[in-house]
Amino acid sequence: MMQDLKFWFYPILYKWVVMLLMATYRVEYIGREQVDRLKSNAEGWIYSSWHENVVVSQWAERNQGLVMMSSDSKDGEFSARVMVRMGNFPVRGSSSHGGMKAARAVIQALKSGSSAGMTPDGPRGPARKAKPGMLFISAVSNCPIIPYHVVSDRYWSLTSWDKQRIPKPFSRVIICIGEPLRIDKQRFKQDEAGLIVEVEEAMQQNVERAEEAISA
């Protein structure tokens, strides 16, 4: 009973604490036209953000109806309920448990016209090292991967494995969106490792672009 109450109450509390904090931010987008172009063509996409961005990215993309993966664990249950509170749709599973079942569910949603948000280094890291699951989903669904990164001029960095970054009140926040990456299904079968490197490099370029913008 107490466990059920916690899973009901804590996501609500988390949402409103985050909403109040982030209402103070001065947010700027770079590259939003990448998404607008896909929307105008009625195409779905996969936001690819490192796990360190989870708190801000879930807030920034709230009420978008995005499909998001959440690990099949107690922590994942909390995360899934937060996703629902933020107006998106969780799919349970991760690289360590239930991954293929979850991947199929995401692919089905993408093929039905939805878009997704994924953290290719989640749920346990190592940080900024992509796993193949997101590339597989992109290749099968034919939806492009879009690098997505958040930076701020002042932030707290948590002690978690991902060094989760949370901008401090009244911070300037930049959300940088990179160019779509299309994953060829045949090449994925033949050169999975090479494609992972290319995706990591594209995401790093987007990180550097965001960091240059916040320093300007």
Radius of gyration of the chain (CA): 17
Distance CA 203, CA 216 (A): 20
pLDDT value of position 11: 85
pLDDT value of position 4: 60
pLDDT value of position 9: 81
* 3-state SS, residue 116: strand
Enter the pTM of the model: 0.92
On the question of a cis peptide bond just before residue 11, with omega within 30 degrees of 0, the verdict is no
* 3-state SS, residue 12: helix
pLDDT value of position 3: 57
* Mean pLDDT split into 10-residue runs, the chain, 216 residues: 64 91 96 95 96 95 94 76 94 71 93 96 92 96 98 96 96 98 96 98 98 95
Spell out the domains of the chain, with CATH numbers in brackets: 2-215 (3.40.1130)
Q: Would strands 145-152 and 89-92 be described as parallel, antiparallel, or unpaired?
A: unpaired
pLDDT value of position 94: 65
pLDDT value of position 207: 98
Distance CA 47, CA 118 (A): 6
Query: Can you say how many angstroms the Cα of residue 159 is from the centroid of all Cα atoms in its chain?
Result: 20
Estimate the share of the chain in helix, then strand, then coil, as percent rounded to the nearest 5: 50, 20, 35
> Is the Cβ–Cβ distance between 10 and 85 less than 8 Å?
no
